[in-house]
Amino acid sequence: MKHPWRRVSQAVSLAAFFWLLLYVAWPYATIFRADLLARKELIPAELFLYLDPLSSLSTAVAGRHLGIGLLWVAGVFLVCLLVPRAFCSHVCPLGTTIDLSDWAVGARAKGLHLARRGPWVHTKHYLLVAVLVTAGFGVLLSGYVAAIPMAMRGFVFILGPAQLAVLKHAGMVRPVSWDYWLSAGLFLAVMALGILGRRFWCRCLCPSGALLSVLSLLRLRERRVTPACTRCGKCAKACPFDAIRSDFSTRPLECAFCRSCEGVCPAGAIGFAWRCRRKSERQGADDVRLSRRGFIGAAGAAALGVSGAALAGGARKPLLRPPGSVREDLFLNLCVRCGLCIKACPGPVLHPAGLEAGIEALWTPVAVPSWAGCHQDCNFCGQVCPTGAIRPVSIAAKRKTPMGLAVVNTRACLPHRGERDCQLCHDECRAAGYDAIEMLEIRLPVGEVPEGVLSALEIEDAGRILAPFVNAAACVGCGLCEYRCHTVWKKQQRLLPESAIVVVPLQSA
């Protein structure tokens, strides 16, 4: 290999991606501490999400929110002026994973490869139009199709449970539901597209790559072919991005400066130099032109998506969001469904939402207190959120930030039913430092007592019991009480069909 630096860059980037995902975002230690994440986070755990230009740009547009992600986008754009689509060829962990999949599987299915050029090669541009149009109307689609959110979510859903089972305990792994299978299936389907051709996703479908390819129109450097070319065709076969025409000139929007062509050229006729505008580099007879109908169709589909989201929004079920989350409508416009907050959450308290609040909320983080409570010394979700959907709050502020409200179900609660003493929820809340649950005396009907069996004082004492009551002003909805009640009385003792105290979203409290 004449230029190994691309492979070195890919290897380093992929290693960094997994280091951030599996080590930095690993929320466990022998002794849990509030600074656990900060001590490991030499670089932001969400770094690669910042580097995906479509992810940051679309959330800024959809949420009308100018965040730090736009500064990273500007940096990526500046680099790509000198090395067009450098992110795609040198950095993107999804692209590197696809390369590995193509090497392991795709190369053995060449008989199924599609022709490299066809109308499908511009699907990525139509997807890009749909994502940006819907973002303009306040509906975020990039979280479902952008490169890094898709890669992050896929690895979180596939590797996250495995890591939790191996390093902690299999009982901590949430039962795998259909939303897990759907996300994992889509991720694996992207890998399987290699049977249709090398880097099929990157060449034909990736809207993040499409955004960077459009930026290539402003490129300062370009690929050059000198008269020494022997027209052997090795460069075209080696190019993973289908950036070489039949006359061996360059398709500028496709070239990712991977330099694979230069490495295999036997005549040394290929180089990369400062841009010189030439007609042969701007058009070619074997190019497939972008379709006006395709753009109109993409915009129409985006409009239908916006309309559907608007209709579904009115009947949206309230969800229990992490502490520090912005209001629900803005949350849906900022969350890119990357799953990093779910990965960084101990317990884990945060799970991906299904369709209970509509397709617009799919894979967004929702707290499930019956599975675990939100630890009073943890604010990791806000620290790793790349878009501000979950605001970073200090531990002191987190302990005063409501995420829901605990409600006692008096029909299920053992003291309220007069069956037995119990103050598990009270003790758990007090241990966490919230003191939002009070044990107050209530009177219970004693019924008819035969004369002489009990004294009047004993009868009066038998009609008294301490029962839990929630102080709404002090409750932040952490769910520690629900987790304790659900674990002891439903899962272990099996005395209750459901927890006697539950946390409800503030919208429905």
For 292-339, what is each residue's pLDDT tens digit? Answer: 666 676 666 666 666 555 555 555 688 999 999 999 989 999 999 999
CATH dotted code for 328-397? 3.30.70.20
Tens digit of pLDDT for each residue in 328-362? 989 999 999 999 999 999 989 999 999 888 888 99
Between CA 86 and CA 198 the distance in angstroms is 18
Tokens of 477: 């909805």
Question: Which among 346, 393, 367, 379 has a CA at the least distance from the CA of 482?
Answer: 367
For the record, the structure tokens of 286 come out as 């074997």
| Residue 440 neighbours by CB distance under 10 Å | 11
- pLDDT digits over 117-163, tens only? 777 888 898 899 889 988 888 888 899 999 999 999 999 999 999 99
* pLDDT for residue 184 is more than 60: yes
Helices and strands counted in the chain (H then E): 24, 8
Cα(478)–Cα(376) distance, integer angstroms: 8
Amino acid (one-letter) located at 53? P
CA angle 14, 106, 249 (to 5 degrees): 85
Checking phi first, is residue 38 left (phi over 0); if not, alpha (psi -120 to 50) or beta?
alpha
| Nearest in space to 369 (alpha carbons), one of 506, 500, 502, 179 | 502
Greatest mean pLDDT range, 15-19, 288-292, 344-348? 15-19
pLDDT above 70 for 447:
no
pLDDT digits (tens, 9 = 90+) for 239-265: 999 899 888 889 888 899 989 998 899
Rounded to an integer, the average pLDDT of 4-30 is 93
Residue 250 backbone phi and psi in degrees, to 5: -110, 140
pLDDT surpasses 80 at 234: yes
Per-residue burial over 102-120, b = 16 or more CB atoms within 10 Å of its CB, e = otherwise: beeebeeeeeeeeebeeeb
Arithmetic mean of pLDDT, 428-435: 95
In the predicted model, what is the mean pLDDT of the chain?
87
The torsion angles phi and psi of 423, rounded to 5 degrees, stand at -140, 35
Q: Please give the biggest Cα pair distance in the chain.
A: 116
Query: Smallest Cα–Cα separation from 406: which of 466, 348, 472, 351?
Result: 472
CA atoms within 13 A on the CB side of 58: 32
pLDDT at 288 over 70: no
Question: Do residues 446 and 462 lie in contact, with contact meaning Cβ atoms separated by under 8 Å?
Answer: yes
Q: How far is the CA of 288 from the CAs of 16, 101, 220, 419, in angstroms?
A: 37, 27, 24, 76
Over 60: is that where the pLDDT of 203 sits?
Answer: yes
Q: What's the pTM value of the predicted model, to 2 decimals?
A: 0.89
Tell me what pLDDT residue 302 has.
Answer: 65
From residue 439, alpha-carbon distances to 409, 423, 430, 458, 481 in Å are 15, 7, 11, 21, 13
Say how many residues make up the chain.
509
Name the band, by pLDDT with cuts 50, 70 and 90, for residue 280: very low
SS3 state of residue 169: coil
Q: Is the pLDDT of residue 268 over 60?
A: yes
The ranges of the chain annotated as CATH 3.30.70.20 are 328-397
Distance CA 252, CA 263 (A): 19
What's the rounded mean pLDDT across residues 439-443? Answer: 89
The mean pLDDT value for 81-93 works out to 91
Whether residue 452 is predicted with pLDDT greater than 60 in this model: the reply is: no
Helix axes 53-62, 207-215, angle to 10 degrees: 100
More confidently predicted of 465 and 349 = 349
To which residue do tokens 């102080």 refer?
Answer: 471
| Top-ranked range on mean pLDDT: pick from 13-17, 229-233, 302-306 | 13-17
Beta bridge partners of 223: 272
State which fold the 404-508 domain adopts: Alpha-Beta Plaits (3.30.70)
**Looking at 451-492, which runs of residues are DSSP E strands?**
464-470
Top-ranked range on mean pLDDT: pick from 84-88, 132-136, 474-478: 474-478
Q: What is the pLDDT of residues 118-127, one digit of tens each?
A: 778 888 988 9
DSSP state of 121: G
- DSSP code of 500? S
**Is 90 exceeded by the pLDDT of residue 381?**
yes
Question: Rounded to an integer, what distance in angstroms lies between the CA atom of residue 81 and that of residue 90?
Answer: 15
C-alpha to C-alpha distance for 218 and 74, rounded to whole angstroms: 14
What percent of the chain has a predicted confidence (pLDDT) above 90? 54
**196 exposure class (CB count in 10 Å sphere: 0-12, 13-18, 19+):** middle
Matching residue, tokens 């062509």: 261
